[in-house]
C-alpha cells in the first residue's frame, strides 16, 4: 500500500453575510440567544444565481493554484454535498467540466455533515491503492437553498461555503493519512432530513405547500447523539493508534454547534487552544466546515507540517466519521 497526504487547500465563501440581527428581523430570535446556544454570529449566503457547483469550482481552482498544477493532472473528483445543483448529473461532473479536469472521473458523496470526512477517507484509499495519484475532495453546500427562513430552529444554524483538499501519493513515511473510523446509524434518519424531492416523495404542489423541501430537524435528538458520538469516535481512534489527547496538535471538528464542540473537547481532555472553532463566522456549512476550519488553522499558523490532526463529524443519517492525519505542509 502507498500512502496519502494532503498537499493543498482551497476555500470559497460567497461574499454576502447574514448576521444574527438580520435573522432577528425575519423570525422570533435574537443575537444573544443564537450566540449562547450555538456560537454563531454570522454566516455567508450565496446570491440567487449561484449554485453549489459555483462554490465548488472556486474552491477547486484555489487548491490547484496553491499546488501549482493544471486541472488535467487530477485523477478523480469527489464532491461531498447534500445540495447538488440538481439530482443529476452529479455536481462532480459539472465541476470536472468547468475546471477542465479532462482526465478525471468522479462522483457526489451524500453524507451530510460527515461528507468531507468520508470523502477524505475515500480519497486516501484511492491514492493508497496506487490507482490514483491526485484526488480532489470538495465539500460544498448551499444550505440556504433548503432552509426554511420561517423556522427559527434551523435558519439560524446554516450557511453556504465550499472547501477543497488535494490528496496525493506520499513518499514520506512520517506524514499523511493514518487512520479512519466511519460509521452509520440509520436509526437516526428521522431526526434530520429533507423529506421531499426524491423517489419516496417526489416534488408536487402538496410537497411545496407542506414545506417538505426544507431541512426538518429534531435539534435535541441530533445534539445528544452528536455529543455522545463525537467523543466516542475520537477516543476510539486515538486509543487504537496508541495516542492520547495530549498527542493531538489540533482537533478540527465539524462546526454544527459550539456547545457540541466544547463538550467533545472537555470529555476528551483537549484544551480549547488546541481545538479549531470558526462557527462564529460561517455557521454550519455542512460538508464545507472541515476544510474551512483547516484553512483558518493553516493561515493563522496553528497547523504545521508534522502536526497530528484529528477530524471528527456527525451528521444526518446519522453519519459519523473521524480521520487521523499527520499534516504534510
Ligand atoms: O451537523 C448536524 C446538524 N445539526 C446539529 O448539529 C444541530 C444540533 N442541535 C442544536 O444545535 C440545538 O438543538 C439547537 C441550536 C437547534 C437548539 O438549541 P437547544 O438549546 O437544543 O434549544 P431547544 O430546541 O431545546 O429550545 C430551547 C428554547 C425553546 O423555548 P421554550 O420551549 O423553552 O420556551 C425554543 O422554542 O429556545 C427556543 N428557541 C429559540 N429561541 C430564540 C429555539 N430556537 C430559537 C431561536 N431563537 N432561534
| Candidates 93, 113, 155, 170; catalytic one | 113
255 lines ligand 1 (CB under 6 A): no
Measured distance CA(106)–CA(78) in Å, rounded:
5
**Would you call 175 a catalytic residue per the annotation?**
no
Measured distance CA(167)–CA(165) in Å, rounded:
6
Measured distance CA(118)–CA(156) in Å, rounded:
26
Query: What's the chain's average pLDDT?
Result: 97
218 lines ligand 1 (CB under 6 A): no
Region label for 120, one of left (φ > 0), alpha (ψ between -120 and 50) or beta (otherwise): alpha
Query: Predicted confidence band at 2 (pLDDT cuts at 50, 70, 90)?
Result: low
Is the four-CA dihedral 50, 55, 57, 61 of positive or negative sign? Answer: positive
Q: For residue 38, how far is its CA from the centre of ligand 1 (angstroms)?
A: 9
- Closest residue CA from atom 30 of ligand 1: 153
The pLDDT, as a whole number, for residue 174 is: 75
- Closest residue CA from atom 29 of ligand 1: 153
Closest CA to 290 of 325, 318, 245: 325
- Closest residue CA from atom 39 of ligand 1: 153
**Would you call 170 a catalytic residue per the annotation?**
no
Closest CA to 291 of 120, 170, 146: 120
Which atom of ligand 1 is least distant from the CA of 112? 1
Instruction: Assess whether pLDDT exceeds 90 at residue 1.
Output: no
Q: For residue 219, how far is its CA from the centre of ligand 1 (angstroms)?
A: 6
* Residues whose CB falls within 8 Å of the CB of residue 206, separated by 6 or more in sequence, listed in order: none
Q: What is the mean pLDDT of the segment spanning 191-209?
A: 98
Pocket test for ligand 1, best of 257, 259, 293, 314 (most atoms within 8 A of CB): 257
Q: What is the mean pLDDT of the segment spanning 274-301?
A: 98
Q: For residue 17, how far is its CA from the centre of ligand 1 (angstroms)?
A: 22
| Candidates 175, 278, 284, 323; catalytic one | 284
CATH number of 176-326: 3.40.47.10
* Structural fold of domain 4-169: Peroxisomal Thiolase; Chain A, domain 1 (3.40.47)
Instruction: Assess whether pLDDT exceeds 90 at residue 173.
Output: no
Output the nine-digit C-alpha cell for 291: 476544510
pLDDT digits (tens, 9 = 90+) for 29-83: 999 999 999 999 999 999 999 999 999 999 999 999 999 999 999 999 999 999 9
Measured distance CA(23)–CA(186) in Å, rounded:
32
Cα distances from 169 to residues 30, 135, 306, in angstroms, run 48, 9, 16
Pocket test for ligand 1, best of 219, 226, 315 (most atoms within 8 A of CB): 219
DSSP states of 270-310: --GGGB---HHHH-B-GGGHHHHHHHHHHHTT---TT-EEE
Higher-confidence residue of 104 and 174: namely 104
**Would you call 284 a catalytic residue per the annotation?**
yes
Is the four-CA dihedral 110, 116, 118, 124 of positive or negative sign? Answer: positive
| Candidates 80, 254, 278, 323; catalytic one | 254
In this structure, are strands 308-315 and 319-326 parallel, antiparallel, or unpaired?
Answer: antiparallel
pLDDT digits (tens, 9 = 90+) for 157-166: 999 999 999 9
Structural domain boundaries of the chain?
Answer: 4-169, 176-326
pLDDT digits (tens, 9 = 90+) for 306-315: 999 999 999 9
| Matching fold, domains 4-169 and 176-326 | yes
Q: For cell 500500500, name the residue.
A: 1
Query: Predicted confidence band at 214 (pLDDT cuts at 50, 70, 90)?
Result: very high
The pLDDT, as a whole number, for residue 170 is: 84
Query: Predicted confidence band at 272 (pLDDT cuts at 50, 70, 90)?
Result: very high
- Closest residue CA from atom 43 of ligand 1: 153
216 lines ligand 1 (CB under 6 A): no
Closest CA to 255 of 278, 273, 234: 278
Amino acid at each position: 500500500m502507498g500512502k496519502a497526504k494532503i498537499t493543498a487547500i482551497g476555500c470559497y465563501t460567497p461574499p454576502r453575510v447574514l448576521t444574527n440581527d438580520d435573522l432577528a428581523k425575519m423570525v422570533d430570535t435574537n443575537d444573544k440567544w443564537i450566540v449562547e446556544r450555538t456560537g454563531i454570529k454570522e454566516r455567508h449566503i450565496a446570491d440567487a444565481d449561484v449554485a453549489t457547483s459555483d462554490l465548488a469550482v472556486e474552491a477547486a481552482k484555489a487548491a490547484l493554484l496553491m499546488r501549482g498544477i493544471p486541472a488535467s493532472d487530477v485523477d478523480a473528483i469527489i464532491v461531498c454535498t447534500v445540495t447538488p445543483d440538481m439530482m443529476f448529473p452529479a455536481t462532480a461532473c459539472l465541476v470536472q467540466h468547468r475546471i477542465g479536469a479532462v482526465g478525471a472521473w468522479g462522483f457526489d458523496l451524500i453524507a451530510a455533515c460527515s461528507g468531507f470526512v468520508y470523502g477524505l477517507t475515500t480519497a486516501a484509499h484511492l491514492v493508497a491503492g496506487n490507482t490514483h495519484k491526485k484526488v480532489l475532495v470538495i465539500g460544498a453546500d448551499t444550505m440556504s437553498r433548503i432552509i426554511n427562513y420561517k423556522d427559527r430552529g434551523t435558519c439560524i444554524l446554516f450557511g453556504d461555503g465550499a472547501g477543497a483538499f488535494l490528496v496525493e501519493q506520499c513518499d514520506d513515511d512520517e506524514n499523511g493519512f493514518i487512520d479512519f473510523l466511519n460509521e452509520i446509524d440509520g436509526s437516526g434518519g428521522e431526526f434530520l432530513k429533507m423529506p421531499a424531492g426524491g423517489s419516496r416523495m417526489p416534488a408536487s404542489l402538496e410537497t411545496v405547500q407542506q414545506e417538505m423541501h426544507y431541512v426538518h430537524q429534531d435539534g435535541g435528538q441530533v445534539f445528544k447523539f452528536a455529543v455522545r458520538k463525537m467523543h466516542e469516535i475520537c477516543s476510539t481512534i486515538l486509543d487504537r493508534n496508541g495516542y492520547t489527547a495530549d498527542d493531538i496538535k489540533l482537533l478540527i471538528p465539524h462546526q454544527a454547534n459550539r456547545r457540541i464542540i466544547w463538550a467533545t473537547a472537555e470529555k476528551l481532555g483537549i484544551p480549547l487552544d488546541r481545538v479549531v472553532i470558526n462557527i462564529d463566522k460561517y455557521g454550519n456549512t455542512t460538508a464545507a466546515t472541515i476544510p474551512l476550519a483547516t484553512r483558518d488553522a493553516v493561515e493563522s499558523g496553528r497547523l504545521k507540517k508534522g502536526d497530528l490532526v484529528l477530524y471528527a463529524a456527525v451528521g444526518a443519517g446519522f453519519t459519523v466519521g473521524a480521520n487521523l492525519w499527520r499534516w504534510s505542509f
